[in-house]
Amino acid sequence: MESTQNPIVGNSLHTAVLFIVFNRLETTRKVFESIRQSRPPRLYLASDGPRENVAGELEKVQAVRTFITDNVDWDCEVKTLFRLTNLGCGRAVSGAISWFFEHEECGIILEDDCLPSQSFFRYAEEALIKYKDHENIYGITGDYRAPVSQAIADKASLVSFPLIWGWATWRRVWEKYDRQMKNWTGNIDDVPALRDAPEDTRRYFQRSFHKTAIGEINTWDYQLSFQMLMNNAKFISPNTNMVSNIGFGEDSTHLVAVDPTHSAIPAHEVEVDLSEFVDNGYDQWLYTHAFNRKSATTRAFNKLRRLVLGM
């Protein structure tokens, strides 16, 4: 299944990469190194502005920006979207993706804590080309957290949720994105893909969609979930993890209390067979392990996180 060889070397990536960064230099360095090895022809750098009430953040944000722009050492067109003021998660990330697709028909999107294997880039690029006209396929993820079955470890599957710890998509999908969720009726029964979901999952999304639509949660990804679930759309998923989330830990404002079993799952080198999709039960696994009513401790943390970050 795995290979220690770099599948990109000698056959550089042809697809543009959007790299979304902020104030974490150490994780940024690691993810940038993986991008550098893949040698994309166009690199889009998006950085939210520093928060005025956070001491020292201006210097941290500037250090991240300078590090990247000073270390692009391959033939690459670099475009930057460096915000002067802080927009917050919802507007900054969605705005960065909209900016990206003003210039590109498709592309790979990485945040500063999503460390991909080299084969992720080739897999994402191949899938972007192969399934570009499949309207019901909304994206490609490298994020696989469930147990690995060796029988299908190098196969691809379809999942009903946008798993965005390392992903790729097309302009045709993002053109439908609505951060305000104007089509949300307030009733989870009106979301076709969730009508037969477990009740815990339905309650999870009822609450999440409602709070996002009324502005209590300042984010961007629940809107993409809503868009997919309303249209019974799918993401292509590997059956072996290809992106490691390295954002967990004491210095992380986002992930410190998230299920630690998701922390830094190794990102494997695997050649994914995209010729057909197999049923791996990933939706059902996510119902139980991600999209349900979490423990009281985690719910309390998430509430605190939203108060602190305005998310």
Quick one: pLDDT band at residue 11, thresholds 50, 70, 90? low
Indicate the DSSP class of residue 193: G
Side chain identity at 232, as an amino acid letter? Answer: N
User: Is the pLDDT reported for residue 178 higher than 70?
Assistant: yes
Quick one: pLDDT band at residue 293, thresholds 50, 70, 90? low
**What pLDDT is stored for residue 149 in this prediction?**
95
Q: What is the pLDDT of residues 44-78, one digit of tens each?
A: 999 999 999 999 999 999 999 999 999 999 999 99
Identify any residues that bridge with 107 across adjacent strands, giving them in sequence order. 169
13-34 average pLDDT score? 98
Alpha-carbon distance values, 299 to 205, 213, 220, 287 (Å): 14, 19, 19, 17
203-222 average pLDDT score? 96
13-33 average pLDDT score? 98
User: Is the pLDDT reported for residue 186 higher than 90?
Assistant: yes
Of 33-37, 137-141, 194-198, 287-291, give the lowest mean pLDDT range.
Answer: 287-291
Indicate the DSSP class of residue 289: H
The label of the residue with tokens 């210097």 reads: 59
Domain range annotation of the chain: 17-309
Quick one: pLDDT band at residue 295, thresholds 50, 70, 90? very low
User: Is the pLDDT reported for residue 5 higher than 70?
Assistant: no
Quick one: pLDDT band at residue 294, thresholds 50, 70, 90? low
User: Is the pLDDT reported for residue 80 higher than 90?
Assistant: yes
**What pLDDT is stored for residue 12 in this prediction?**
82
Quick one: pLDDT band at residue 254, thresholds 50, 70, 90? very low
Beta strands in the chain (DSSP E): 17-21, 42-47, 77-82, 106-111, 114-116, 137-141, 155-159, 167-170, 234-238, 243-245, 273-277
Q: Rounded to an integer, what distance in angstroms lies between the CA atom of residue 231 and that of residue 169?
A: 16
Task: Give the CATH number of domain 17-309; options: 1.10.10.10, 3.90.550.10, 3.90.1150.10, 1.10.3720.10.
Answer: 3.90.550.10
Q: What is the pLDDT of residues 154-165, one digit of tens each?
A: 999 999 999 999
Quick one: pLDDT band at residue 264, thresholds 50, 70, 90? confident
Q: Rounded to an integer, what distance in angstroms lies between the CA atom of residue 97 and that of residue 64?
A: 19
Quick one: pLDDT band at residue 249, thresholds 50, 70, 90? low
Phi and psi torsions of 136, nearest 5°: -85, -10
Residue 181 near residue 226, CB atoms below 8 Å: yes
CA 285 to chain centre: 18
Q: What is the mean pLDDT of the chain?
A: 89
Selected residue with higher pLDDT from 46 and 9: 46
- Residues in the chain, how many? 311
